[in-house]
Amino acid sequence: MAKVVLDVTMSLDGFIAGPNDDVERLHDWLFSGTTAGNSNRSASVLPGRESFKTSGGSTEVLEESFKSNGAVVMGRRTFDIGERPWGNNPPFQVPVFVLSHRGREKVVKSATTFTFVTDGIESALKQARAAAGQKNVALMGANTAQQSLKAGLLDEIQIHLVPVLIGDGIPLFEHISRKHIELERTRVIEARGVTHVRFRVVK
């Protein structure tokens, strides 16, 4: 059955983006093994498939995640930021469900469809599971991840741990329950600079 997975790049101090949603510095690490380089990619929320080919040691891990995803759930904020840079051929190429208070007609862009879900995380995940079939449902965005965790609906977390302290930005784990959530570490991969650590959420 489809698993709900969170696959995300995080600084050692727990941020998945800097202030102003800047993820360039973190993604630079995934792609060049250093945050010092300049990025000239246009997609700032999620690097497109093309970018993956230029990656260093993390390529295989990212490709593996991408290939295993049959649907995506993201927040409206992520969609709004990404819509323009993703262009007419967004990198997902699977059904995407966008959590939103505001309804909107389904958006079809090449192989990617965006369906707007106004009745909450459980509904979005249910629709995404149905669309994903045997594949996984991937979450995007801190808020979506937190909601899924709180609802007990997240199955797996893979952190691409980037060796930098950014000091400010969007924290991945905030507003989650004060009840401890136990994890089981299921895999560690040392790529160039980046450490990919995978966990199963114990239920």
Q: Measured from the CB of residue 157, what is the shortest distance to a copy of itself in angstroms? A: 8
Strand locations in 52-162 (E): 69-75, 95-99, 107-109, 112-117, 136-140, 156-162
Residue type, 91: P
The answer to whether residue 57 forms part of the interface with a copy of itself (CB under 8 A) is: no
Cα distances (Å, whole numbers) of residue 84 to 4, 44, 48, 66, 70: 26, 10, 13, 21, 23
- Under a CB-based contact definition with an 8 Å cutoff, are residues 59 and 50 in contact? no
- Interface with a copy of itself (CB under 8 A), residue total 36
Count of CB atoms situated within 10 Å of the CB of 27: 24
d(CA 92, CA 71): 8
4, 157, 158, 170: residue in contact with a copy of itself (rule CB under 8 A) = 157
Contact range with a copy of itself by CB under 8 A, out of 61-69, 88-96, 136-144, 176-184: 176-184
The answer to whether residue 177 forms part of the interface with a copy of itself (CB under 8 A) is: yes
> Would you give the binding string for a copy of itself spanning residues 97-136, x where CB under 8 A is met?
----------------------------------------
The answer to whether residue 37 forms part of the interface with a copy of itself (CB under 8 A) is: no
Q: Give contact residues for a copy of itself (rule: CB under 8 A).
A: 12-14, 25, 35-36, 149, 157, 159, 161, 163-168, 171-173, 176-185, 188, 190, 193-195, 197, 199
